Amino acid sequence: MSEILRVEDVEKYYGNKGNLTKALNHISFTVDSGEFVGVMGASGSGKTTLLNCISTIDTVTNGRIFIGGDNITSLKPRQLSKFRREQLGFIFQDFNLLDTLTAYENIALALTILKRSPKEIERKVDAVARQLDITGVLKKYPYQMSGGQKQRVASARAIVTDPALVLADEPTGALDSKSAQMLLESFETLNKTLGATIMMVTHDAFTASYCHRILFIKDGKLFHELIRGTDTRKQFFDKIIEVVSLLGGDNRDVI
Ligand SMILES: Nc1ncnc2c1ncn2[C@@H]1O[C@H](COP(=O)(O)OP(=O)(O)O)[C@@H](O)[C@H]1O
Ligand SMILES: [Mg+2]
């Protein structure tokens, strides 16, 4: 498999000399195309900072990040917005759907911005809607949909442009357990059927157990890595819980 993401000795500091937070402290790892990777760690360990640096929303203090071979840490603002539109998909905790657009329009918007033809847009939206089982809600507005449907529409929107990498920060954080499970099943569809490479931040072991590999971070450093391999989800879940307890700190915060 080919490498899609390379995080190379990245540091991110917030604040100034007298009051410095090392949110990321010499972190390095790679992600291959087609992987479904989770990032876990206690609150304040640097998960969101890491995702924001990868998604080019935030800039690194030191180190380099490559996505699909491009060094994103050296792109100029205009190149960055183009890069984000073309190469990245985002799934936010609060869905971020536009209330005045239907599900179809929400999904189609990213393709419209990329100036794709109406025919191609229709074909792509219909195909992704079928895969995620939301064909029946395409004409509905967000207020007419359940939480699980909104999250699947948000997943469809993230994947419809065929991004190199889909990024999700605590995507199940606002969902009840049934909707969370449905969302994670759609992530599996995105990953297995549609070939999406996904990187998902979560502090929840159940959510993480859907991943193939988990990076654990502690105080902005890579602390441990778990690979699911041939484990069942339950076996993987148990291993995750073990590492989480090793991570120490406030366990309630992680589990
Ligand atoms: N914009 C910011 N300004 C200053 N400190 C920040 C900022 N964002 C995050 N931090 C600090 O960086 C550390 C990591 O935060 P974050 O990445 O949000 O952690 P997590 O997502 O794992 O909970 C924390 O100590 C946090 O207080
Ligand atoms: Mg966070």
**pLDDT tens digits, one per residue of 177-232:** 888 888 899 899 889 988 899 999 998 999 999 999 999 999 999 999 999 999 99
- Residue 254 scores a pLDDT above 80: no
Q: Please tell me the total count of domains within the chain.
A: 1
Measure 239 CA to ligand 2 centroid, in angstroms.
22
Q: Is residue 116 part of a domain?
A: yes
* Closest CA to ligand 1's atom 12: 23
Q: Which residues pair with 182 in a beta bridge?
A: none
- Residue 253 scores a pLDDT above 70: no
Ligand 1 pocket test, candidate residues 22, 48, 221, most atoms within 8 A of CB: 48
Q: Is residue 252 part of a domain?
A: no
Q: Domain of 118: which CATH number?
A: 3.40.50.300
To which H or E segment does residue 149 belong? helix 147-159
Q: Is residue 253 part of a domain?
A: no
- How many residues belong to the chain? 255
Q: Is residue 7 part of a domain?
A: yes
Instruction: Map tokens 């931040």 to a residue.
Output: 201
Q: Is residue 141 part of a domain?
A: yes
The candidate with the shortest Cα–Cα distance to 110, out of 85, 130, 92, 129, is: 85
Query: Please, are residues 172 and 92 in contact by the beta-carbon 8 Å criterion?
Result: no
User: Any idea what DSSP says for residue 138?
Assistant: T
Measure the CA–CA gap between 206 and 216, rounded to whole angstroms: 15
The percent of residues above 90 in pLDDT, for the chain, comes to 69
Instruction: Map tokens 């998960």 to a residue.
Output: 47
Q: Which domain holds residue 24?
A: 3-247
Pocket of ligand 1 (CB under 6 A): 14-15, 21, 23, 41, 43-49
